[in-house]
Amino acid sequence: MKKIIFSIGLIIAVLIGCKTNSGSSDSKKLVIAFEAKSNSNVSGTATFIEKNGKVTFVAKLAGLKPGIHAIHIHEKSDCSAADGSSAGGHWNPTFKKHGKWGVGEYHKGDIGNFTADAKGNGTITLTTDEWNIGSGDPTKDILGKGLIVHEGTDDFISQPSGDAGARVACSAIIK
C-alpha cells in the first residue's frame, strides 16, 4: 500500500512538472544583436516575445545620429553586405504597397520610425498579432527575416520602401 501511495505521488509530481513545462512553452522569446552597417557605429539588441498569439517587439539602439530613424523587417536574414543590401527589400508576404500600419496598405515589415535622443540612443516597442515566431505561416512567421535600421526617416509614402536612406544596422531574425 505504501508503495502504491508513493507511486501515485510520483505520478502527480510528474504531471505537475509537465504542466509547468507546457505553460512556459506558449511563450517564445528571441533576442538578437545588431551589427553596424554602411560604416556606422550603431549597436543594439532586439527582443521578440510571443505570448497568447501576439508578438511584443523591443529594439534598443545606440550610436545613431540624433533624430528620427526608420526600422523595418526586410525579407532576408543575410546581413553580410557592407551596406546591408543583402537583407533584400521589405518583408511583404501579402504583396501590398509600402505604408504605415493601420493606414491603408502596408508591408508586414513596416515597423515605422523611432527617435534617437541627443546621445544617439533610441528605443521602439510594438505589440502585434500580425507576426509570430516560427509557426511556418509565410504571412506571419518572422524567422529567417532581417531587421534593418536606417539613417533616415520613413515617409510612409515613397515606394517601395519609404525613402529611408542608408542601412546603418542589420540583425538576422534567427534562433
Could you say whether residue 72 binds Cu ion (CB under 5 A)? yes
Choose the contact partner of 148 out of Cu ion, Zn ion, none; CB within 5 to 8 A by kind: Cu ion
Shortest distance, CB of residue 143 to Zn ion, whole angstroms? 19
Residue 26: Cβ within 10 Å count: 10
SS3 33: strand
Span interacting with Cu ion, options 17-25, 31-39, 40-48, 71-79, rule CB under 5 A: 71-79
Q: Tell me the backbone φ, ψ of residue 79, rounded to 5 degrees.
A: -100, 15
SS3 172: strand
Number of residues binding to Zn ion, judged by CB under 5 A:
4
Of 96-155, binders to Zn ion (CB under 5 A) are 98, 107, 110
- Going by C-alpha positions, the residue among 70, 65, 76, 71 that lies closest to residue 46 is 71
SS3 102: coil
Shortest distance, CB of residue 107 to Zn ion, whole angstroms? 4
List residues near Cu ion by CB under 5 A: 72, 148
In the complex, which residues of this chain contact Zn ion (CB under 5 A)? 90, 98, 107, 110
